[in-house]
Amino acid sequence: MSRRRQLAALVRKDLRLELRTRETIVAMVLFAIVMMAILQFGFGTRDDDLTRFVGGLMWVTLAFTAVLGVGRSYVAEREQRVLDGLLVSPVPRVVMLGAKAIAIFLYMTAVEVIVIPLVGVFFVQGPYWDAIGWIAIAALLANACIALSGTLFSGLALFTRARDLILPVLFLPALVPVVIAAAGATHAVAGGPHDMSEWRGYCLFLLAYAILFSLVSVATYDAVFDD
Amino acid sequence: MISARGLVHAYGERRAVDGVDLQVDAGERLAIAGPNGAGKSTLLRMLATLLRPRAGHLTVLGADVADDPRRARAGLGYLAHDPLVYLDLTARQNLELYGDLYGIPDRDGRIDDLLDHVDLLARAEDPVRAFSRGMAQRLALARMLLHRPRLLLLDEPHASLDARATALLDSELGAARDDGRAAVIVTHEVERVADVADRLVVLRAGRVVLDEPTAGMDARAVRRRYEEAAA
């Protein structure tokens, strides 16, 4: 049995479900926009330049948006009671992890296609658009971190009764280093001269975090589903 | 096909399955019956590799499920209370998904054959959400048979099937016996056991209290033996 074929089938299934229901991505985008509006009003008017806070504002918004998306990652399996069908099939648990992580990565990327430009509109008065490529690279690395850690924690929370409470309690602390690094990388390039050495350092940290969580996930995911 | 020795599973302090020994050979159809809470579904979930035994040793299709559950899973067909299909995907998309998970060659041809077999070919492109309960269970039957499993595990299969699906299932169980596949059927409908199984196992409080062939028994005789054992 080809793991690649299994992985592709599971990712295709998640994308088909999302295309048909349009529940997760739409909710994530709306949530992120509302949160940015709240932050904008919370900080004051557009006259105040929020450029120096832009990294934090963007990544706090995206972190909470990620909690929303990750929390919905097993909703179809849970509500439609399909999980046993997947678990009784000969799919390695790590392939299930990989498929969910890819789906979350794609959802986050879709949200950021809208959110990252909007951040420039909401919060930045200085130069921003020339930095968007560097911000996007940092965002892709952060998405890998979010997807890998989020999949692991949503799998852990899946078998608990208070899963909707447990997931944010587990997941948000794990996101703190990601928010710090992604916000730092964004701050390094947005709104003024680019500090590429600072940006590079934060991106390397995100890469290391993603590798670490992929190793932890591979080592533990069988136990999450089989015990 | 199945060899279980001293299987135990507990929910907290309560032992749902308490030292069960079970042997199922090729071509054999075993019915497991018992009162509510006897441990039937828990035992079936262990045989399906969905629950790990707390103690004991279990071999399914030649694979030790503690060491190599995936090898066992590749040859299992599992029919549960729920159809185990996505309601927002079409019947065909659901079978394509499972076809890829099981690595079926000639997936599309096999899906067409099975959809035709369960009388759903005309509704193949409809989302399962639009199906009646009976249609969804027929799709579940197709899902279970898709990868030509050598061992069928069925949890109360007749409880939610319509007449068409019941006839299909019974004919499939007959075919399983004829071509050397095995089946384990958890059931409350003891009267059906004589028709669909060659052996009856009765569980009570997680233990096997009866294990005997049904050959020569009619529905009333099976009911009488069950009631004697389960009392």
**pLDDT tens digit string along A104-154?**
999 999 999 999 999 888 887 777 888 899 999 999 999 999 999 999 999
Q: Which helix (H) or strand (E) holds B57?
A: strand B55-60
Predicted ipTM?
0.91
Higher pLDDT, A124 or B38: B38
**pLDDT in the model for residue A120:** 85
| Chain A closest-CA separation from residue B35 CA (Å) | 24
Contact A148, A105 (CB under 8 A): no
- Does the beta carbon of B105 lie under 8 angstroms from any beta carbon of chain A? no
**pLDDT in the model for residue A227:** 59
Q: A6–B100: do the CB atoms touch at under 8 Å?
A: yes
User: Which residues of chain B neighbour A6 with C-beta distances below 8 Å?
Assistant: 100-101, 103
Q: Which of A1, A76, A86 sits opposite B103 (nearest CB)?
A: A1
**pLDDT in the model for residue A150:** 93
Contact A170, A156 (CB under 8 A): yes
- At a CB cut-off of 8 Å and minimum separation 6, what does A24 contact? A18, A69, A72, A107
Q: How confident is the model at residue A85 (pLDDT cuts 50, 70, 90)?
A: very high
Mean pLDDT of all residues in B165-186: 87
- Does the beta carbon of B10 lie under 8 angstroms from any beta carbon of chain A? no
Is the per-residue pLDDT at A44 higher than 70? no
**pLDDT in the model for residue A110:** 95
Tell me the domain boundaries of chain A.
3-226
**pLDDT in the model for residue A47:** 57
Q: List the structure tokens of A55.
A: 């990294």
Distance CA A64, CA B12 (A): 36
Higher pLDDT, A203 or B180: A203
- Does the beta carbon of B150 lie under 8 angstroms from any beta carbon of chain A? no
User: Which residues of chain A neighbour B101 with C-beta distances below 8 Å?
Assistant: 6, 9-10, 86, 89-91
User: Which residues of chain B neighbour A88 with C-beta distances below 8 Å?
Assistant: 48-50, 73, 76, 78
Decide: helix, strand or coil at residue B155. strand
Mean pLDDT of all residues in A151-175: 88
Q: How confident is the model at residue B83 (pLDDT cuts 50, 70, 90)?
A: very high
Q: A85–B143: do the CB atoms touch at under 8 Å?
A: yes
The residue behind tokens 């890469």 is A207
**pLDDT in the model for residue B50:** 92
User: Which residues of chain A neighbour B139 with C-beta distances below 8 Å?
Assistant: none
Q: Which helix (H) or strand (E) holds B6?
A: strand B2-11
User: Which residues of chain B neighbour A19 with C-beta distances below 8 Å?
Assistant: none
The amino acid sitting at A17 is L
The residue behind tokens 């509704």 is B123
Q: List the structure tokens of B122.
A: 């005309």
Rounded to 5 degrees, φ, ψ at A193 are: -60, 140
Decide: helix, strand or coil at residue B188. coil
Burial letters A117-151, b for 16+ CB under 10 A, else e: ebbbebbbeeebeebbebbeebbebbbbbbbbbbb
**pLDDT in the model for residue A1:** 67
Which of B58, B84, B152 should one mutate to test binding to chain A, selecting the residue with the greatest count of A CBs within 10 A?
Answer: B84
Handedness of CA B173, B176, B177, B178 (dihedral sign): positive
- Does the beta carbon of B90 lie under 8 angstroms from any beta carbon of chain A? no
Tell me how crowded residue B181 is: count the other CB atoms within 10 A of its CB.
22
pLDDT in tens, B70-79: 999 999 999 9
Contact A193, A126 (CB under 8 A): no
Strands B182-186 and B29-33, bridge-based pairing: parallel
**pLDDT in the model for residue A46:** 57
Distance CA B113, CA B92 (A): 11
Locate the DSSP E strands across A108-171.
Answer: none
**pLDDT in the model for residue A220:** 84
Strands B182-186 and B151-155, bridge-based pairing: parallel
Distance CA B109, CA B37 (A): 42
Q: Which of B84, B89, B100 sits opposite A17 (nearest CB)?
A: B89
- Does the beta carbon of B126 lie under 8 angstroms from any beta carbon of chain A? no
The pLDDT mean for chain A works out to 90
Q: Which of B71, B89, B101 sits opposite A89 (nearest CB)?
A: B101
User: CA angle A161-A165-A170, nearest 5°?
Assistant: 105
Strands B55-60 and B63-64, bridge-based pairing: antiparallel
Q: A89–B88: do the CB atoms touch at under 8 Å?
A: no
**pLDDT in the model for residue A48:** 62
Closest CA to A130 of A182, A40, A196, A46: A196
Is the per-residue pLDDT at A204 higher than 70? yes
Which of A2, A77, A84 should one mutate to test binding to chain B, selecting the residue with the greatest count of B CBs within 10 A?
Answer: A84
Beta partners for B9?
B17
